[in-house]
Amino acid sequence: MITWNNLDTIPAYQELCKVAPVRLAEAMTGEGGADRVRKYSVPMAAGLSYNYAAKQVDEEVLGALAKLAEETQLAEKFEALYNGEVINTGEKRMVLHHMTRGQLGGAVVADGVDKRSFYVEQQRKIAELAHKVHNGEITNAAGEKFTTVVQIGIGGSDLGPRAMYLALENWAKVNNTFKMEARFISNVDPDDAAAVLHTIDVAHSLFVLVSKSGTTLETLTNESFVKDALRNAGLDPSKHMIAVTSETSPLAKSEDYLAAFFMDDYIGGRFSSTSGVGGAVLSLAFGPEVFAQFLEGAAEEDKLARNKDMYTNPAMLDALIGVYERNVLGYQNTAVLPYSQALNRFPAHLQQLDMESNGKSVNRFGEPVEYVTGPVIFGEPGTNGQHSFYQLLHQGTDIIPLQFVGFKESQMGRDVVIQDSTSQQKLCANVVAQIVAFACGKADENRNKNFQGGRPSSIIVGGQLTPQALGALLSHFENKVMFQGFVWNINSFDQEGVQLGKVLAKKVLAHDTDGALKAYSELLHI
């Protein structure tokens, strides 16, 4: 029987708080550090591995974390999730994003429909449309092929798909699977849509409108912006637009779109990159076969998340170490640092994934919790970040755990030897150096040049950033966030915190304001 209890009532958590913290600088120095690097590593899907040698853990800490995993029933709760129990208590819904890429458990039927079959059917329809666009069976009014796809959406309808597109754009070009350039419009700021429209040929562009409800203010505003541009160019907007929405939305059966593909309420926006939300734009950009490889990597990583043994479950292990850092060691932030330019928007996606999911101060039953929950997530690609905020990471007053991502090979294969090493070798040398520098530090009598060390990090390492590797990477972090929500006894699958601002914005636009709301409206001449 599954029970849902607050973290501070769990006996294993009380024991974890009593374990002596690891002196990381000592542990990572000399051969002891080398032994940790070789020992503290867990295989992931698609040739990736999660290495946590530079985290403040040892056998005693890990033993306490394994006990915490058992007492909080992490494996059982994940099993309940993928078997269709109502895990999203705030909205009283199932959580089924895993089902967009595979069947982890038994059949799940909702609204009289087998959900796995439903998601596969939507993927099949998207693939069929993508092939017709690529083959020239679906063209513009002049009979010419579409060359650009533009996604119109915000939040999870933009951040994830945009990050995934950028991650695979160069890989697809080198591997001859690049079909169409993709652009993204998200911000209601008119400069966003105008800038994109200024740089594309609208006559050869296909627009993907993504809104589950069909009522998202920013998205519908940008749709009108785009339709206006199409009409001004003498084009019929309905011949240039497709929709990704729910079957019950006003967009579902509208004649304003060439086609409509469906998602449902069981997949949250920030978990939707492997659904039609990411599937339409990625299949059009790279071909359905590449999107299928992406799904394959995510599905393989999901299978590892089923493991009950924490030591063979990288997402669970990563999550528990994060809980230890947040709740026992008191670290407030986490920096995501991919040493891959292709992942330049991946930290932004993880900001939403983590902070929208676990930025909660009440438990699953609406009761205030007496402990901290989700950390602040931020990051930039290396080595750019080294010349930006690493000063604070190395010598600031706060210790900030670090999540590195690195690959042995570049995506494009072009490189040059300068000063006896290639650019890729220099990139990899930098991430290795940073891990050790953060962990071990460097003593110096000049306090300005002294590095205390003891700054924990982990790294996910892969051979190359391929579609499968990207899918596995995405799945790892989705499952990590989910496991942490289970430990904290919060609902990671609603987002009430984003609603109040939307409500007040509507009041401002309706001029139904008073007090500070009215004064600020006057300040901005609304």
Q: CA-to-CA distance for 18 and 275, rounded, in angstroms? A: 43
Q: Name the residue with tokens 């942490």.
A: 484
In the set 39, 173, 408, 502, the catalytic residue is 502
Backbone angles phi, psi at 455, to 5 degrees: -105, 110
Judged by phi (left if over 0) then psi (alpha if -120 to 50, else beta), residue 99 lies in: alpha
Of the residues 387, 408, 442, 449, only one is catalytic, namely: 387
Give the integer Cα–Cα distance in Å for 454 and 162: 35
- In the chain the first and final C-alpha atoms are separated, in Å, by 55
- Pairing state of beta strands 205-210 and 421-422? unpaired
Beta strand residue intervals within 25-147, DSSP E: 41-43, 49-51, 109-110, 113-114
Catalytic residue among 296, 301, 356, 478: 356
Rounded distance between C-alpha atoms, residue 207 and residue 215, angstroms: 17
Q: Mention every residue, 6+ apart, whose C-beta is less than 8 A from residue 253.
A: 260
Angle at 509 between CA 503 and CA 198, to 5 degrees: 105
The residues facing 521 across adjacent strands are: none
114/488 Cα distance (integer angstroms): 31
204 is catalytic: no
Examine residue 383 and say whether the peptide bond preceding it is cis (omega within 30 degrees of 0).
Answer: yes
Alpha-carbon distance of 298 to 462, in angstroms, equals 15
DSSP string across 387-405? GTTHHHHHHSSS---EEEE
Pairing, β 260-263 against β 241-246:
parallel
Neighbours of 215 (CB within 10 A): 12
Residues, the chain: 526
How far apart CA 307 and CA 311 sit, in angstroms, is 9
Identify the helix (H) or strand (E) that includes residue 169: helix 159-174
Nearest to 119 by CA among 278, 353, 300: 278
Q: For the purposes of burial, counting CB atoms within 10 Å of the CB of 89, is it exposed (0-12), middle (13-18) or buried (19 or more)?
A: middle
Catalytic residue list contains 356:
yes
What number of other Cβ atoms are within 10 A of residue 382's Cβ?
22
Q: Which of 157, 156, 138 is nearest to 147 (CA)?
A: 138
State yes or no: is 502 an active-site residue.
yes
Residues with active-site annotation = 356, 387, 502
